[in-house]
Amino acid sequence: MRHWNVKLGTINNNHNHCIINTFTRAFASASRKSPTPTSKSKSLETSQHSDLASFLAHAKRTGLDETSPTFTGTRYEYLVAERLARYGFSLTRVGGASDFGIDLVGDWTIPSTSRTLRVLVQCKAGSRVGPQFIRELEGSFVGAPPGWRGSRVLGLLVTEKQTTKGVRNALTRSRSAMAYVCCTGEEGVVKQMQWNQRADEEGLEGIDVALRRAGEEEEDEIVLMKDGLPLPIVE
């Protein structure tokens, strides 16, 4: 018997808190902010690796310090791209002059649906979570590449920490379609995904998020839900 602890992804604008609806179905730390690489160095590095495996090989080959901000930030960005692919995301690491803090760009095609959103992603490895990150993410829309402007564009903030009340309030107030994801830094387990009403209006209406209770040797992880049923994980 598999148990699903369901938490709706949308944050309720009227009540200014995350709607939670729990039921069971039988069908189934670093507190200091780690700076990201500069735009110039990031652009150079990206030409030398394109995914987590190639980056780790590059780091080993060049003797890159695994405790450095460059290593931890880059590794986390690639880890996020790899793990979110299981939920239908197709993301590419980017960087360059005037990137407005954007780390990943791509598309999110929700599994078993025809819904696709363009996505701008900011990753915060080891950072304390605060509403200032939501304001920073809003600024990313200004510097978005030409293909990621206009409607049906979702801004995604990904950190290693669970969301806070301040972050949820800032997300709720935003007029931009935005979402918050908690993805652990070691194994890349996606523990939380929440979005605002504007994101619902841009294409996420009817999509919910459930927490799958894992066994003793695994960590709990989210699954996407539609019409009360889990959507498939993309392998």
Question: Which pLDDT value is given to residue 144?
Answer: 87
Q: What percent of the chain has pLDDT over 70?
A: 78
Other CB atoms within a 10 A radius of the CB of residue 190 amount to 20
234 and 111 Cβ atoms separated by less than 8 Å: yes
Q: What is the pLDDT of residues 160-180, one digit of tens each?
A: 999 999 999 999 999 999 999
Residue 77, SS3 per DSSP: helix
User: How far apart are alpha carbons 26 and 180 in whole angstroms?
Assistant: 28
Instruction: Report the domain count for the chain.
Output: 1
Question: Which pLDDT value is given to residue 23?
Answer: 25
Q: Is 235 within the bounds of a domain? A: no
Question: Which pLDDT value is given to residue 45?
Answer: 52
Question: Which pLDDT value is given to residue 33?
Answer: 33
Residue 213 has which token pair?
């209770």
Q: Is 226 within the bounds of a domain? A: yes
Residue 95 has which token pair?
């960087």
Q: Write out the residue range of the structural domain in which residue 50 sits.
A: 4-230
Question: Which pLDDT value is given to residue 10?
Answer: 61
Question: Which pLDDT value is given to residue 99?
Answer: 63
User: How far apart are alpha carbons 77 and 205 in whole angstroms?
Assistant: 27
In the chain, which residues have pLDDT < 50? Answer: 1-8, 12-41, 43-44
- With a CB cutoff of 8 Å and minimum separation 6, the contacts of 75 are 52, 55, 56, 59, 125
Q: Is 53 within the bounds of a domain? A: yes
Q: Is 107 within the bounds of a domain? A: yes
